Amino acid sequence: MHAREIGLLLTMKNKFPLIVALIIGVGALLAIRQYVNKMEQEAAAKLKGELVVAASVDIPAGTELTMQMISPKEVPPQFIPAQAIQGSDQVKQILGRKARVAVTAGQIILWSDLASETRGGLSSIIPEGEGAFTVSIAKGIKPGLIQPSDHIDIIASFAIPKPNQPLPTDANAAASWREVSDVVNVVVLQNVTVLAVGDTFGGGVKSQNESGGDLTLSLTLSEAQLVMFAGQNGELGAVLRREGSTTFTPADQRQRVTFEAIEKIVGDLDGKRNYRNVEVQKGSQSTSVPVSNH
């Protein structure tokens, strides 16, 4: 081997640790940058706000609220006051109400800032084309966990007479009639707005001791007929919807739960629940966690 080649090899050998150190340094810098980016993204997620109602102008005490006086304001979830006004349904409920105290421009409007009386009572918050209908809910979500402006799905269980079985003619015969009838569970209505819980509506603070099952719902006349019939001839249950959920299950995909069909339905549901996401609440933040039965 020539002296020049030997010298070149020695030079490369001497530079090798420097090259390795350089590669390690670059890798460390990339790792640090990745970590910093992750921290920045997490910090940004925590600061990502939700929309609440704020005053767009100074509102003197005693002034009736109009759309021109309010505007949306983005606030991180952990800084949103408990009585903040959120969502279009609640905005409808405050229009026309008087400010109990003066509210300055940019200030978040709270339910406690408003006078307790409304311009037209419950009727002033009913959407166009619908009416208020009160039902007693015996099953499903506890009414005490429902707030005005929440949305629910209504399910019902009926006793359906078998062929050639006469309907009962008096109350004493009704019990035995139901015992020999087929029972069916169906979805009656979806995404129904709750106007009031008990006697509380319009964002009022509900008594923690309230245990009644009465919910006042916003329904069309035909929907009210359907719910009334279901309540007269069966038991009603409510399923509380996630806030902001507007999904609908088409009629051909809604299952009629009967004794004959329940085994197939259970099998189908087990398969669907093998892989799903579950929302877990941690403080003011919610996290989607994948769940598998395997």
Residue 226 confidence (pLDDT) above 90:
yes
Which of 20-24, 135-139, 179-183 reaches the highest mean pLDDT? 135-139
Say what the pLDDT of residue 3 is: 57
Which class for 151: exposed (0-12), middle (13-18), buried (19 or more C-beta within 10 A)?
buried
- 262-281 mean pLDDT: 60
The pLDDT tens digits for 116-167 are 754 457 787 788 889 999 998 888 888 888 888 889 999 998 877 666 655 5
Which of 2-11, 36-45, 57-66, 243-252 reaches the highest mean pLDDT? 57-66
Third-level CATH fold of 50-113 = Type Iii Antifreeze Protein Isoform Hplc 12 (3.90.1210)
Say what the pLDDT of residue 83 is: 82
3-state SS string over the chain? CCHHHHHHHHHHHHHHHHHHHHHHHHHHHHHHHHHHHHHHHHHHHHHCCEEEEEECCCECCCCECCHHHEEEEEECHHHCCCCECCCHHHHHHHCCCEECCCECCCCECEHHHECCCCCCHHHHHCCCCCEEEEEECCEECCHHHCCCCCEEEEEEEEEECCCCCCCCCCHHHHHHHHHCCEEEEEEEEEEEEEEEECCEECCCCCCCCCCCCEEEEEECHHHHHHHHHHHHHEEEEEEECCCCCCCCCCHHHCCCEECCCHHHHHHHHHHHCCEEEEEEEECCEEEEEEEECC
Say what the pLDDT of residue 199 is: 80
- CA end-to-end span of the chain: 64
Band (pLDDT 50/70/90 cuts) for residue 55 is very high
Say what the pLDDT of residue 63 is: 92
% of the chain with per-residue pLDDT over 90: 20
**234-240 and 257-258 as β-strands: parallel, antiparallel, unpaired?**
unpaired
Lowest mean pLDDT among 65-74, 94-103, 252-261: 252-261
The pLDDT tens digits for 281-292 are 666 566 666 655
Q: Report residue 122 as tokens.
A: 């419950």
**182-197 and 200-201 as β-strands: parallel, antiparallel, unpaired?**
antiparallel
Band (pLDDT 50/70/90 cuts) for residue 275 is low
Distance (Å, whole) CA 65 – CA 59: 8
The pLDDT tens digits for 57-84 are 999 988 999 999 999 998 888 788 878 8
| Arithmetic mean of pLDDT over the chain | 76
Say what the pLDDT of residue 145 is: 87
Say what the pLDDT of residue 180 is: 47
